[in-house]
Chain A
Amino acid sequence: MSYQGRFRVWRGDDDAGELADYSVEVNEGEVVLDIIHRLQATQAPDLAVRWNCKAGKCGSCSAEVNGRPRLLCMTRMSTFAETDVVTVTPLRAFPVVRDLVTDVSFNYQKAREIPAFAPPKGVQPGEYRMAQEDVARSQEFRKCIECFLCQDTCHVVRDHEENKAAFAGPRFLMRVAELDMHPLDSADRVDAAQDKHGLGYCNITKCCTEVCPEHIKITDNALIPLKERVVSRKYDPIVWLGSKISRRS
């Protein structure tokens, strides 16, 4: 069942590099990460790749396979023909550290910009009561493994470095939605979603949803409802009046 597969793998750093050609043994049931590991063990011992669990649970081995953002551990070789050349490149939206490893610190910066869960006042530990159907909405977003494929594919930043400062990206806008839908979170997050985290940049093309390995409906269940909350507040005449009055005082 084995065959020699043809691969092109990016070797280099942020300044310079090239696609290197390799011929590597491929066995039944393998995924692209297996091939990268075999390359390391037999031909390219210093080939840099980030990985941990190899089971689609940690979100470390994010890269691009034939130009598509993918987890290397969840991309089965059986999805390619034996004659295909499989091209593996680092995430395009982030600076390359070396080979397939990118500097993903942008995401950790954005995580720090989202105000944390605000516990309800006067509710003691052990006394939190929530209905399953209410927690289920935020639980969907907490399935996120932070692979950052959505951050990589989102066209707002994929080829627009200049938008990065003002835009949290799908993963962290979803984090805002998650906290906003948390049954016991006591903070108001709607205005900041638009004004501080750049929700307005998103024009719901659903690219993020398409690449999500956890199949989270980022656009439909997080971003659109959040946009609706922003819109209903901005154009709600009573809210508008209230904000004018409070600003005057």
Chain B
Amino acid sequence: MTEATSSTDVERYDFDVVVIGAGGAGLRAAIEAREQGMRTVILTKSLFGKAHTVMAEGGAAAAMGNVNPNDNWQVHFRDTLRGGKFLNNPRMAELHAKEAPDRVWELETYGALFDRTKDGKISQRNFGGHEYPRLAHVGDRTGLELIRTMQQKIVSLQQDDEREFGDGEKFLKVLHEFTVTEVLLDGQSVSGVFGYFRQDGRFAAFEAPAVIFAAGGIGKAFKVTSNSWEYTGDGHALAMRAGATLINMEFIQFHPTGMVWPPSVKGILVTESVRGDGGVLRNSEGNRFMFDYIPDVFKAQYATTEEEADRWYKDPENNKRPPELLPRDEVARAINNEVKEGRGSPHGGVFLDVSTRLPAEEITRRLPSMYHQFKELADVDITAEPMEVGPTCHYVMGGIEVDADTAAARVPGLFAAGEVSGGMHGSNRLGGNSLSDLLVFGRRAGTGAADYVRALGDKRPALAAADVAAAAEAALRPFAVAAEDHGPLENPYTLHAELQLTMNELVGIIRRDHEIRDALVKLDELDKRLPRVSVAGDRRFNPGWHLALDLRNMLVISRAVAMAALERTESRGGHTREDHPKMDPEWRQVNLVVALEGDTVTLTRQPVPTIRVDLLRLFDREELGKYLTAAELAVLDQEEATK
């Protein structure tokens, strides 16, 4: 190790609120914290404006009722619970449905330009699982619009501070290409974070009483994924190490339509809007197979014939929706089964066809980035031929357990919003509910953190010098491994590839008891090899070093997923057990909670928060009968009788 590489110098910063992540949730949280007078810093692994949110294509679900005036928060709430198979934190789903319209309208005051209806309002599109057209959108690049809008809002807040104080970064600073490796504690409470600048590898510690995790998901633990390199479960893992709990980690959303060819783009997302706008799924025999996969719980809401399904696009009032628009878990399982039974496309997917459904110019107008993506990456013209698609790891429903109203985790000073938090989406997230989730709970996390900091007064937790030094030493360990001699050195890329294959094959879309056990054995082996991971080069923008540090997070999160997946002996949403194919009302009452005790991942059960009776009344009795236990229904009936 050279002197520059081994330097343990640490820059020190002092803030009220640290936001980790600059996607939709992080930016919205930071805007809120700043507007409440908090000195706020955003730390992000990528460049400012590049967050994974830009990949969101379809839109932000908000019951504004611009296209169908029958829409309201109650209908949105109902759809969200159906999508999540009633495992959602009901308070989160309620707040989300109620507040999403305000959060979308607010973006217009920041300068966002959504697509419009004929009367000049924000247009809304159909999407899987949503009863009415509900997604505010901009073509198929809605996530980019959200990020750019909030990025520009942050710049505008900085411009205000520049005018008023002569310092644009007085209250709001963005440090990009910065990776957090530790959350630091004072007793049980958060005192700050430690990490490194990717550009030159120098260290920095931030003393701050409130830390908001908006760090996204875990998709990079899987081989076929729509997620980018950043999605290494940092937020989940760091929060767990700080003492927070994670819930619902067994629920992973495999988006039904990822590209399957060419191999180098396998997993890249094909937006659900293709189906929302009329695209249909066919197998190699030319059949629209989704009609064969409508589960009982959804029979009342979906068309059973192609004729009715096709009429729905023009006349949704009098027809039921096409089964291509079932929630994502249903469609992904159906595609998986078609391929398994030999009715797949040449490259192991199924056909998604919009070319025979819409005129070419309509396709390029409504789905411009899909058109370019296929044209440029696969040499396929989607206006003239079908796409080949298959499931891809897309989103983790599980995450940091938080209080619905304040986004506070169990550790004082730790908050979480967006994909890194758990509960909102239950066992399966509806498309479009992510962008709205980011806005609603990003803002709430900003408020929650500001309230917490104000309540502390001057009794702030302090950063311990010894903890900072230990964090610096831990971050440098991969450079020091070569100097020791306890066995062969490990290549971080090799270890990562083995982990991805393990999770994909053994804890993927369809799970079996013995395979999950095999995965846990393999994870034991990888855990043992992790300390032998060694890196070449120095600390300046060194991807090998970055991956070596990220691996620790991916491994612990993979274990959390596998343990929860083994424990839940039923199939629900983003967790399908071939050996336990049925949904079990008893399991609906159970959240699986993972935590860390020392280095050991623990798993416990706790009850799912009760759904208030006024919210249950939004559903009819027959539908509730499909999800709730006899005991729960009896309580409800009793309430109804005494009303």
Which residues does A use to contact B, with CB under 8 Å?
13, 27-31, 34, 40-41, 45-60, 74, 76, 97-99, 101, 103-104, 108, 111-112, 115-117, 119, 125-126, 128-132, 135, 138-139, 142-146, 179, 182, 185, 215
Query: Which of A47, A112, A131 is B116 in contact with, Cβ under 8 Å?
Result: A131
Q: A40 contacts which of B263, B368, B493 (Cβ < 8 Å)?
A: B493
Residues of B within 8 A of A54 (CB): 228, 265, 268
- Name A98's contact: one of B47, B123, B540 (CB within 8 Å): B540
Give every chain A residue within 8 A of B156 (Cβ-Cβ).
116-117
Enumerate 13 A-B pairs (CB-CB under 8 Å) in ascending A order.
Answer: A28-B263, A29-B263, A46-B535, A46-B537, A48-B540, A52-B46, A52-B229, A55-B265, A58-B54, A60-B50, A112-B162, A146-B50, A185-B111
Q: Decide if A135 touches B116 in the complex (CB within 8 Å).
A: yes
Residue of A whose beta carbon sits closest to that of B107: A125
Is there an interface contact between B159 and A112, defined as CB atoms closer than 8 Å?
A: yes
Known contacts A52-B230, A55-B265, A97-B540; A45/B491 CB under 8 A = yes
**Sample of 7 further A-B pairs with CB below 8 A, known A46-B544, A125-B102:** A29-B264, A55-B373, A97-B199, A99-B541, A126-B105, A179-B111, A182-B111
Is B108 in contact with chain A by the CB < 8 A criterion?
yes
Contacts of A116 in B (CB 8 A): 111, 152-153, 155-156, 159
Q: In the complex the two chains form, is B113's CB within 8 Å of A55's CB? A: no
List B contacts of A28 (CB < 8 A).
262-263
Q: How far is the CA of A145 from the CA of B46 in the complex (A)?
A: 14
Contacts of B114 in A (CB 8 A): 135
Q: Which residues of B contact A30 (CB under 8 A)?
A: 262-264
A59 to B158, CA, bound (A): 24
Which residues of B are found within 8 Å of A119, using beta-carbon distances? 109, 111
- Give the residues from 39 to 59 in chain B that come closer than 8 angstroms, CB to CB, to chain A: 46-50, 52, 54-55
Contact A129 B119 (CB under 8 A): yes
Question: Are A45 and B536 neighbours in the complex by a CB distance under 8 Å?
Answer: yes
B309 to A: closest C-beta gap in Å? 28
Taking a contact as CB atoms under 8 Å apart, the answer to whether B543 and A49 are in contact is yes
Once the chains bind, are A117 and B111 in contact (CB under 8 Å)? Answer: yes
Quick one: which of B54, B123, B200, B497 contacts A57, CB cutoff 8 A? B54
Contact call A74/B377, Cβ cutoff below 8 A: yes
**Cα(A57)–Cα(B109), bound, Å:** 25
Interface set of B (CB-CB < 8 Å, partner A)? 46-50, 52, 54-55, 64, 101-102, 105-106, 108-111, 113-116, 119-121, 123, 138-139, 141, 144-145, 148, 152-153, 155-156, 158-159, 162, 168, 199-200, 228-230, 261-265, 268-269, 368-369, 372-373, 376-378, 491-494, 497, 535-538, 540-545
How distant is the Cα of A145 from the Cα of B54 in the complex, in angstroms?
Answer: 9
Q: With A27-B263, A49-B543, A101-B541 given, is the CB distance from A60 to B159 under 8 Å?
A: no
B55 and A57 contact, CB distance less than 8 A: yes
Chain B residues within an 8 Å CB radius of A76: 376-377
Q: How far is the CB of B491 from chain A (nearest CB, A)?
A: 7
| Nearest opposing residue in chain B for A50, CB measure | B47
Residues of B contacting A58 with CB < 8 Å? 46, 50, 54-55, 228
The reply to whether A52 and B228 form a contact with Cβ atoms under 8 Å apart is: yes
Given A41-B493, A97-B541, A31:B377 Cβ within 8 A:
yes
The 6 nearest A-B residue pairs measured at CB: A29-B262, A46-B537, A117-B111, A116-B156, A129-B120, A45-B544
From residue B383, how far is it (CB to closest CB) to chain A in Å?
A: 16
A126–B102 Cα distance when bound, in Å, is 7
Partner among B64, B105, B168, B543 whose Cβ is within 8 Å of the Cβ of A47 = B543
Q: A119 → chain B, closest Cβ, in Å?
A: 5
Complex alpha-carbon distance, A149 and B545, angstroms: 28
Min distance, Cβ B192 to any Cβ of chain A, angstroms:
25
- Nearest Cβ on chain B to A40's Cβ, whole angstroms: 6
Q: How far is the CA of A131 from the CA of B113 in the complex (A)?
A: 11
Task: Report which of B101, B376, B491 forms a contact with A74, defined as CB distance below 8 A.
Answer: B376
Distance in Å: Cβ of B363 to nearest Cβ of chain A: 16
Residues of B within 8 A of A97 (CB): 199-200, 540-541
CA distance A25 to B139 in the complex (A): 37
Q: Complex: how many Å from CA A30 to CA B141?
A: 24
Shortest distance from the beta carbon of A133 to any chain B beta carbon, whole Å: 9
For B148, list chain A residues within 8 Å (CB).
142, 144, 146
Contact B138 A139 (CB under 8 A): yes
A41 to B491, CA, bound (A): 8
Measured in the bound complex, the distance between the Cα atoms of B375 and A74 in whole Å is 11
Q: How far is the CB of B528 from chain A (nearest CB, A)?
A: 21
Contacts A27-B263, A29-B261, A52-B230 given; does A45 touch B540 at CB 8 Å: no
Q: Compute how far the CA of A40 lies from the CA of B229 in the bound complex, rounded to whole angstroms.
A: 14
- Say whether, besides A58-B54, A60-B47, A142 and B101 are in contact (CB < 8 Å): no
Selected from B159, B491, B540, the residue in CB contact (under 8 A) with A13 is B540
Bound complex: CA A243 to CA B47 (Å) = 42
Find chain A residues with CB under 8 A from B493 CB: 40-41, 45
Q: Is the CB of B106 within 8 A of A132?
A: no
Question: Whole-angstrom distance from the CB of B86 to the nearest CB of chain A?
Answer: 31
- Residues of chain B within 8 A (CB-CB) of A115 are 159
Task: Kindly state the separation between the CA atoms of A185 and B152 in the bound complex, as whole angstroms.
Answer: 14
Contact B121 A125 (CB under 8 A): no
Instruction: Give the chain A neighbours of B116 by CB distance below 8 A.
Output: 130-132, 135
CB distance from B85 to the nearest CB of A (A): 30
B54 to chain A, nearest CB (A): 5
What is the bound-complex CA distance between A30 and B379, given in angstroms? 12
- For the complex, what is the distance from the CA of A146 to the CA of B144, rounded to whole Å? 10
CA distance A47 to B52 in the complex (A): 23
B47, B120, B168, B372 interface centre (most CB from chain A within 10 Å): B47
Interfacial chain B residues near A128, Cβ < 8 Å: 105, 108-109
When C-beta atoms are compared, the residue in chain A nearest to B45 turns out to be: A52
How far is it, in angstroms, between the C-alpha of A125 and the C-alpha of B119 when the chains are bound? 16
A164–B543 alpha-carbon span in the complex (Å) = 30
Give the residues in chain B near A51, CB-CB below 8 Å. 228-229
* Given A58-B228, A60-B46, A138-B113, A48-B541 contact (CB < 8 Å): yes
Say yes or no: B105 contacts A125, CB within 8 Å.
yes
**Which of A28, A49, A128, A132 has the largest count of B CB atoms less than 10 A from its CB?**
A128
Interface centre among B101, B228, B492 (most CB of A within 10 A): B228
A112 CB contact (under 8 Å) in B115, B120, B155:
B155
Of the candidates B121, B138, B139, the one whose C-beta lies within 8 Å of that of A129 is B121
Q: Is the CB of B138 within 8 A of A142?
A: yes
Chain A residue at minimal CB-CB distance from B176:
A108
Q: Which residues of B contact A144 (CB under 8 A)?
A: 148
Residues of A within 8 A of B373 (CB): 55-56
Closest B residue by C-beta to A13: B540
A59-B120 in contact (CB<8A): no
Q: For A138, what are the chain B residues with a Cβ–Cβ distance below 8 Å? A: 113
- Bound CA–CA A182/B141 (angstroms): 18
Considering the complex, give the chain A residue whose CB is closest to the CB of B168.
A112
Inter-chain CA distance A138–B111, complex, in Å, is 11
The reply to whether B54 and A117 form a contact with Cβ atoms under 8 Å apart is no
A47 and B493 alpha carbons, distance in the complex (Å): 13
How many whole Å from B213's CB to the nearest CB in chain A? 19
A103 vs B162: C-alpha distance when bound (angstroms): 24
- B199 adjacent to A46 (CB under 8 Å): no
A119–B109 CA distance with the chains assembled, in angstroms: 6
B145 CB contacts on chain A under 8 angstroms: 142
Residues of A within 8 A of B64 (CB): 126
Provided the pairs A41-B493, A45-B492, A57-B54 are in contact, do residues A98 and B541 lie with their beta carbons within 8 angstroms? Answer: yes
* A34 in contact with B144 (CB, 8 Å): no
Instruction: State in angstroms the CA–CA spacing of A123 and B575 once bound together.
Output: 46
B219 → A minimal CB distance (Å):
12
| B474 smallest CB distance to A (angstroms) | 20
The distance from the CB of A77 to the nearest CB of chain B, in whole angstroms, is 9
Residues in chain A near residue B101, CB distance under 8 A: 126
> Distance (Å) between the CB of B230 and the closest chain A CB?
7
* Complex CA distance for A47 and B115, rounded to whole angstroms: 41
| B47 to A: closest C-beta gap in Å | 7
Q: Smallest distance from the beta carbon of A116 to chain B beta carbons, Å? A: 3
Residue from A53, A131, A139 whose CB has the most chain B CB atoms within 10 Å: A53
